[in-house]
Amino acid sequence: MEMLSAISGWIWNPLAYVALGIGVLFTLLTKGVQFRRFPDMLRHLRTGEAGEGGLTSLQTLALSLSSRIGVGSIAGVATAVAAGGPGALLWMVITALLGSTCAYAESVLAQVYKRRVQDEDRGGMPYYIKYGLKAPWLATVVAVATLIGYGFVFPGIQANNIASSAKLAFGVNGPVTGVVVAAVLGLVIVGGTRRIVKVVEAVVPFVALLYILSALVIIALNATKVPHALLLIVSSAMGKDQLFGGIVGYAVAWGVRRAVFASATGLGEGTFAAAAATVSHPGKQGIIQAFSIYIDILLICTASGLLLVVTGAYNVTDPAGGFLVQNVPGAVAGPNYMQEAIDSSLPGWGSGFVAVAVTMFAFISMVFFFYVAQTNLVFLLGERRSKVWEALVKVGTLGIAFTGTAVSADTMWAAGDIGYGILGWLNMGCVLLLTPVVRKVIRDYDRQRRDGLDPVFAPDRLGIEGADYWLAQPAALKEPGRV
């Protein structure tokens, strides 16, 4: 475990800052598209329609959120506060505001280089690496790594969190939880993409809204403590707090790191959902994916963090050893903090509520992980179908959903951190190399909007090669109309 933790640190410590730096870069290059085009985010969600083989923008937003609002929205926030103090929460917000442009850039690329395969719109990391960077060998490596990660490893992290929460709240043993999780997951994924989308579309808004409202109720019960909590968060993040000022570096590092991990900003995870949307211009889907970061970090993660600080249900470790603050002795950083926070205002409700929230967040993430694995299998097979490989991915996903409940949490998180980190380095490097394409797309989108048009993408006019999907569209769809 010491070796795995060390490897994870080597990968993630610089990666978190690289992700923030890329967010700053794309914020400057796009002139703050995440702020300028906020009205467009809402308009595209309202007016988007699904095409043949594609999904609506609202459906792809739900699909993306199914991965972004995983257990990181609870456990990740708690570990950030434990390691970096309350100030880590402000750096999570800053990362979301700037890093959302990284989600914008990778989603634009996913749209530009997507393909129609097996009668469905597919795209994502391996597609823009192959057709954008013209590096098919690297695309194959990334597709295989992503298939293994999302099909055979990462679902185990979610299953592990479900099992530990169920054990703590209801006394249910891991193997029993594993059987139930695998069985329900099997019912969803056996129905293919359509059933996956229907389940996610129905469950995600309900889960997110229920969690936010529940957190707000607890915060409202402690309303008099909110001003002090906000002041503590800001002063700690700026190094001005007497107690936490000495760990401001940890506040930055863990705030950025957990924001990237919780939202998967720059890790390429959201690109697979983004490519499935039916839109007239890649810039539209880029904006919507930036909006998904807002929902995850600014609403859900911030609600979690404020709940902890307002109730004081957290410990903060001292880098030199021991604790700077130990408000909840014996509590392990993660869901335990949230359970203590809720119990402080509604005694007896914490364990059950957090168990249900973790279960729902984790389950919808597992559904999306299978979709990602399936998309990478489609990339590797092309128009060929292989029932053997398709069955193997399903069995692998269900297998890790069961065995993940029995493996230690530390091992699963370490494996997940390393896998996500490797994919993050690969994806961010490729996105940076394709920056000129992102710049052309945003300039084209802005130009058409200034002219009062509903943007339509024509890659040949912009000198973008490899965007064959768009060149195959009917001529009638290539002429922009008035908004």
Residue with tokens 């998180």: 413
d(C-alpha 24, C-alpha 26), whole Å: 6
Residue 54 has pLDDT above 70, yes or no: no
Residue 322 contacts residue 289 (beta carbons within 8 Å): no
pLDDT for the residue numbered 335: 78
Mean pLDDT of 178-195: 84
pLDDT band at residue 466, thresholds of 50, 70 and 90? Answer: very high
Which of 202-211, 270-279, 374-383 has the least mean pLDDT? 202-211
pLDDT for the residue numbered 392: 93
Q: What are phi and psi of 349, to 5 degrees?
A: -95, -20
3-state SS assignment for residue 108: helix
3-state SS assignment for residue 482: strand
Mean pLDDT of 143-157: 92
* Nearest Cα residue to 286 out of 26, 461, 47: 26
Mean pLDDT of 356-384: 89
The HSE-up count of residue 291 (CA atoms within 13 Å, CB side) is 22
Q: What are phi and psi of 454, to 5 degrees?
A: -85, 110
pLDDT tens sequence across 384-432: 888 899 899 999 999 999 988 887 767 777 777 788 889 989 999 999 9
d(C-alpha 249, C-alpha 90), whole Å: 13
Residue 7 has pLDDT above 90, yes or no: no
The single-letter code of the amino acid at 57 is S
Element (H, E) at 53: none
pLDDT for the residue numbered 81: 94
Average pLDDT, the chain: 87
Residue 470 contacts residue 142 (beta carbons within 8 Å): no
C-alpha to C-alpha distances, 76 to 32, 337, 427, 437, nearest whole angstrom? 27, 11, 22, 33
Mean pLDDT of 169-177: 85
Phi-psi region of 367 (alpha: psi -120 to 50; beta: other; left: phi over 0): alpha
**Helix ranges, 222-349 (H):** 226-237, 248-263, 271-274, 282-293, 302-311, 335-345
Residue 365 has pLDDT above 50, yes or no: yes
Residue with tokens 């506040």: 251
d(C-alpha 23, C-alpha 292), whole Å: 15
Residue 289 contacts residue 277 (beta carbons within 8 Å): no
Residue 383 has pLDDT above 90, yes or no: no
Mean pLDDT of 427-438: 96
d(C-alpha 367, C-alpha 215), whole Å: 25
Of residues 132 and 19, more confidence is placed in: 132
pLDDT for the residue numbered 476: 45
Residue 388 contacts residue 143 (beta carbons within 8 Å): no
pLDDT for the residue numbered 125: 96
Structure tokens given for 347: 């005694």
The single-letter code of the amino acid at 14 is P
* Nearest Cα residue to 1 out of 435, 311, 414: 414
pLDDT for the residue numbered 377: 95
β pairing state of 481-482 and 453-454: antiparallel
Residue 176 has pLDDT above 50, yes or no: yes
Residue 292 has pLDDT above 70, yes or no: yes
pLDDT tens sequence across 202-252: 777 787 888 888 888 889 999 999 999 999 999 999 988 888 888 988 898
Q: What are phi and psi of 482, to 5 degrees?
A: -75, 140
pLDDT tens sequence across 31-46: 999 889 888 887 877 7
* Nearest Cα residue to 459 out of 181, 218, 162, 128: 128
Instruction: Supply the Cα-derived Rg of the chain in whole angstroms.
Output: 22
Residue 98 contacts residue 27 (beta carbons within 8 Å): yes
Percent of the chain with pLDDT over 70: 96
